[in-house]
Chains A and B, each alone.
Chain A
Amino acid sequence: MPSSEPIELTSLDLARCRSWPYSQDHCVTCGLCASSCPVSGVDGFDPRKLIRLISLGLDEAAAESRWPWICTLCGKCENACPMEIDIADAVRRVRSLRDRDQVPGILQQGLEAALEAGNNLRLPTEDFIFIIEDVAEEVAEEPGFEGFTAPIDKKGARLLTTIHNKLVNTHTEDLKHWWKIFHAAGEDWTISSVNWEGTSWGYFTGDDRAIKTMAGRIVEQMETLSINTLLWPE
């Protein structure tokens, strides 16, 4: 982190807090955000420091640090902030400044899979359908759910639901809860065989365009299947 280097004024981004330009400059350094944050002190992080970095135009230093990723975007800091600075939003913007190959963990990998293959797991459609049908058969064996099926690509259904990728991966048992409720309620529902992914990791990586692409695909599926109501439990 540069200490005695002069600050390059051209690097100041006055709109880093997008919903309110200059917002970061209203920071009164009171420290309420730092006190409210559950991970203040971890790796030297606290929200106030991050806002000060942005305010000073040291965005790059902020983006290179682990701080924006230790933060969970929970918003306790901005809830406490007397100047109403959108701190969590700013953190997300700083995340977006990282080179995409420097995004930590499996986030970018999962997001790229989703953009290319329609879901974070790159699960082929036939495997997806196999899993759905297999779990549906298990539900149908339970008392009270005789004859249960999970409708895939049902045109004109009332309700489309998205799926969290972990439910067709390691947590298939958890697919059953909503399905049982739909069955008992006599809901006319369906799942899409493509672009069914409900998680949107662009939210975590700071990639607004990816979020828009993925949401757009869900709407496309609603259009293709003539469905006007969406449940997006993720």
Chain B
Amino acid sequence: MEKYNFVTVFDLLIDYIKSGRIRLDKNRFPQRACYHDPCNYGRRAQRRFGRGFFEEPRWILDQCMNDWVDLHPNRMDQVCCGGGGGALTTGYNEERIFYGRRKMEQIKAAGAQMVVIPCHSCHGQLNNIKTEYAMEDLEVKYLWELVADCMVLS
């Protein structure tokens, strides 16, 4: 395995930002955002591999926005969006939508207009269920989408 190098989305973004290869303008999104820890990047990675990615995405958010908040609870105690484990593809949609209620309650309580996520499943789930919870205006954004939208191009 020495032969190959694997980078996570977080490592690569942090590398680009710290080395100055990309520059970010943190004033483009004045609205309040919140961050959702995907189970597999956070809690499960911590348990399986002894290394959960909790602080890295938060550091990246600090470079992109002035007003973002954590959901409660978060990190190891974060609540699953309900879209994990293949739930978007099993056809058990009623269960999946019900599952998502806790996540939507968290986001509402945070007063956030945007939720930033580094996971395709979470992104799909929240975009899918937001209308069910009368939160059509909630912007669901990939972490790397936020970074791309904050880039200052020379």
Report which A residues bind B (CB closer than 8 A): 38-39, 42-43, 66, 69-76, 78-79, 88, 104-107, 110, 143-145, 159, 164, 166, 174, 176-178, 180-181, 184-187, 199, 201, 203-205, 219, 222, 228-234
Contacts and interface: CB of A to CB of B under 8 A. Distances in A.
A74 B79 CA distance: 8
Contacts of A74: 39, 43-44, 80, 84-85
Nearest to A233: B9
A39 B84 CA distance: 13
Contacts, number: 136
Interface in B18-39: 21-22, 39
A106 B76 CA distance: 30
Contacts of A79: 43, 47, 76-77
Contact of A181 (B89, B99, B101, B148): B148
Contacts of A75: 39, 43-44, 47
B147 interface: yes
A232 B83 CA distance: 19
B121 to A, nearest CB: 9
A164 B142 CA distance: 13
B59 interface: no
Contact of B83 (A43, A72, A164): A72
Interface string B86-112: 110111100100110110000000000
Q: Which of B95, B142, B144 gathers the greatest number of chain A CB atoms within 10 Å?
A: B95
A42 B95 contact: yes
Given A79-B77, A144-B153, A185-B21, 20 more contacts: A69-B87, A69-B90, A72-B39, A74-B44, A74-B85, A76-B79, A76-B80, A79-B76, A105-B90, A105-B91, A166-B120, A180-B151, A185-B22, A199-B120, A201-B89, A203-B86, A204-B89, A230-B4, A231-B7, A231-B12
Nearest to B7: A231
Contacts of B84: 72-74
Contacts of A204: 85-86, 89
A144 B23 CA distance: 13
B21 A186 contact: yes
Contact of A72 (B80, B91, B144, B151): B80
A79 B75 CA distance: 11
B6 A232 contact: yes
5 contacts: A73-B84, A75-B47, A144-B153, A186-B21, A233-B144
